[in-house]
């Protein structure tokens, strides 16, 4: 009897941790996507209006889409984690979402680095001295995306542990 109560308590704690990690990761990914999607700065240079926005680079469009996909999956999977516990199918879906999230965060980081440093070998000038506000918001968005990846990775690692021990399935 006590063993069953202990298992029930362990499962309940596991579900609380999963809920906290997944909802936090969803919030990070959603925030990253929204911050980048609304990030826009227009300057006037020699009488011309120049706008920096995520929409001018396909890599930043992927960044926004990848973070929306991650947050959508995590929000939709919250009830499933509670209902099903850890399952192999859920783990595979987590892995695919982790891949999309780290890909989006990485491409955002690469473009951010190009914006900050430029690349003399291919003739790309740095833009962050001109579009400082845009770059600051993009940097925050990229950090949030890496945060979503990290939280989802921890959640998935805990799910693997639960699958290995077989204690957190319904």
Instruction: Please give the torsion angle defined by the CA atoms of residues 52, 56, 59 and 62, in that order, rounded to the nearest 10 degrees.
Output: 100
Rounded average pLDDT over 2-8: 77
DSSP string, 51-70: EEEGGG-HHHHHHHHHHHHH
**Residue 114: which CATH number?**
1.20.120
Rounded average pLDDT over 110-121: 91
Rounded average pLDDT over 46-60: 91
CA angle in degrees (0–180, nearest 5) for 110-112-118? 90
Q: 31 or 9, which is more confident? A: 31
Is 61 part of a structural domain of the chain?
A: yes
Is 51 part of a structural domain of the chain?
A: yes
Instruction: Find tokens 């740095």 and name the residue.
Output: 126
* Total-model pTM: 0.89
pLDDT band (50, 70, 90) for residue 25? very high
pLDDT in tens, 67-80: 999 999 999 988 87
Is 170 part of a structural domain of the chain?
A: no
Residue 163, judged by CB atoms within 10 A of its CB (0-12, 13-18, 19+), counts as middle
Is 129 part of a structural domain of the chain?
A: yes
Is 115 part of a structural domain of the chain?
A: yes
Total domains, the chain: 1
Cβ 162 vs Cβ 86: under 8 Å: yes
In angstroms, the first-to-last Cα distance of the chain is: 18
Q: Which domain holds residue 18?
A: 2-165
């Amino acid at each position: 009897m006590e063993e069953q109560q202990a298992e029930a308590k362990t499962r309940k704690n596991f579900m609380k941790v999963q809920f906290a990690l997944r909802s936090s990761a969803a919030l990070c990914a959603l925030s990253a996507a929204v911050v980048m999607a609304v990030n826009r700065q227009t300057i006037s240079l020699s009488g011309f209006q120049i706008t920096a926005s995520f929409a001018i680079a396909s890599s930043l469009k992927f960044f926004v889409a990848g973070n929306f996909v991650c947050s959508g999956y995590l929000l939709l999977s919250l009830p499933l984690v509670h209902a099903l516990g850890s399952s192999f199918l859920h783990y595979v879906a987590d892995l695919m979402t982790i891949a999309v999230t780290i890909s989006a965060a990485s491409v955002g980081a690469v473009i951010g680095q190009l914006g900050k440093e430029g690349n003399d070998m291919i003739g790309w000038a740095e833009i962050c001295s001109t579009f400082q506000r845009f770059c600051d918001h993009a940097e925050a968005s990229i950090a949030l995306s890496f945060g979503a990846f990290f939280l989802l990775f921890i959640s998935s690692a805990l799910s693997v542990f639960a699958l290995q021990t077989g204690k957190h399935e319904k």
